[in-house]
A and B are shown apart, each in its own frame.
Chain A
Amino acid sequence: MTTAIGYNPVAMDARTNETWLDELRSPGPVRDMALDDLHSIVRKGLPYALSRWLSPDDPLFTPLVDEVTQETLLRVLDQLDTFEGRSMFTTWVHKIAIRIALTELRRKRWQDSSLDEMVDNEENPAPERLMADSQASPETSAERTDIMTRIRRILDEELTEKQRQALIFLGVQDLPMEEAARRMKTNRNALYKLLHDARLRLKHRLAAENLNAQEVLSAFETR
Chain B
Amino acid sequence: MDTHPTAKPQIPDELIENLIRSLEHTHDEECTCEDVYAVVDEFAEAEFRGEDAARLMPLIKQHMELCHNCCEEYEALLDVLEKSQSA
Interface residues of A (CB under 8 A from B): 3, 5-7, 9-10, 44-45, 48-52, 86-88, 91-92, 94-95, 98-99, 101-102, 106, 129, 131, 148-149, 151-152, 155-156, 161, 164-165, 167-168, 171-172, 176-177, 188-189, 192-193, 196, 198-200, 202-203, 206, 213, 216-217, 220
Contact = CB atoms under 8 A, between A and B. Distances in A.
Contacts of B77: 49, 91, 94-95, 98
A203 to B, nearest CB: 5
Closest A-B pairs by Cβ, 4 of them: A87-B41, A9-B84, A48-B83, A171-B15
Interface in B3-60: 4, 6, 8-9, 11-24, 26, 28, 30, 32-34, 37, 39-42, 44-45, 48-49
B65 interface: no
A203 B26 contact: yes
B26 A196 contact: yes
A95 B41 contact: yes
Contact of A87 (B2, B20, B23, B42): B42
Contacts, number: 145
Contacts of B45: 3, 5, 87-88, 91
Contacts of A165: 9
Interface residues on B, range: 35 or more
A168 B41 contact: no
9 contacts: A91-B45, A152-B2, A152-B16, A167-B11, A167-B15, A177-B69, A200-B26, A213-B24, A220-B13
A176 B33 CA distance: 14
Interface of B: 2, 4, 6, 8-9, 11-24, 26, 28, 30, 32-34, 37, 39-42, 44-45, 48-49, 67, 69, 72-73, 75-77, 79-85
A89 to B, nearest CB: 10
B13 A131 contact: yes
Nearest to A153: B2
Contacts of A48: 76, 79-80, 82-84
A206 B21 CA distance: 13
A148 B16 contact: yes
Given A86-B41, A155-B16, A213 B23 contact: yes
A87 B37 CA distance: 12
B75 to A, nearest CB: 7
Contacts of B67: 192
Nearest to B72: A102
B58 to A, nearest CB: 16
Given A188-B69, A200-B26, A172 B12 contact: yes
A86 B39 contact: yes
B75 A52 contact: yes
Contact of A220 (B17, B24, B33, B39): B17
